[in-house]
Structure 1
């Protein structure tokens, strides 16, 4: 694999109170917890040797703060397409509560009442992919868990409904997408790396 081919790095934001409790956190603009701040700051060491042509972040504060703590405050550009899934009526709820009412519900297949459908989130991901594929060099993106999963499967040409549920993603983790051989062969190079977080 050519080392000159660009890599798209995906950083999930640090821990929030709702990511800790398991509540669906879409557009609710929660801050990082203390541990979330600590783990986000550890991304700085992990990323310091990599040169980025562009850096983008979701405008939600959990992503912006993670971006700042990772050392990219002065260079990151906010992109509204990078916000987390709009969960509509399921915002702030637990999966167990939703399944008690709708046992067969699946986020990546069904979307959320009053919120976004999988196709709408995929369309946002596709717009971002279209933009970053035109950038000559490595790109770093700060966003949220479900959006990053949709972005990843769209990168390799799959549909969210049949693949996203198989991808686990920890807070303050780093993943990377790229190419095999040439720009016509997109691949996943790294997934859910959080060894920098430590104990």
Structure 2
């Protein structure tokens, strides 16, 4: 379980295909604190640490993860939002995030707005995921509040701290991102579909 509050940025140092899996090595400031078999969210995708060497660690993404997220599109040198799993009893500064990406979306608007940034993302609404005004959404692992909710798109506003300390500062029109919709909203949507 995660909160969507990004701890640090990691840099992809190596990508190695093995059958249908992808081994991803990253360099980060939290590597020395990680342990083998620990869960870490990478752009919102929960992956398990399988190897640690110096200031680099490796995680493995299986085929389903590669098909449903942007993880398979990472490149050497790319920056990745990182968050370790929350500790029981910690403050929940963001919202409940599982690290299970529901689908991807594409950035259709990226604009500085006098000290903050506004981003709009379009997604496939046929998968029955929903957003609501002032509800929670996770974009590349970042816990955010929905500003403008529509059937197949939503907007978020980013404060300077988030812009500077996550990979939001690399987003532009056309950037593909990972989305995890609010877990309560997913259950409500599912119940509604079952009752109709």
Length-normalised TM-score, structure 1: 0.28
- Larger strand proportion of the pair: 2
Length-normalised TM-score, structure 2: 0.28
- Larger helix proportion of the pair: 1
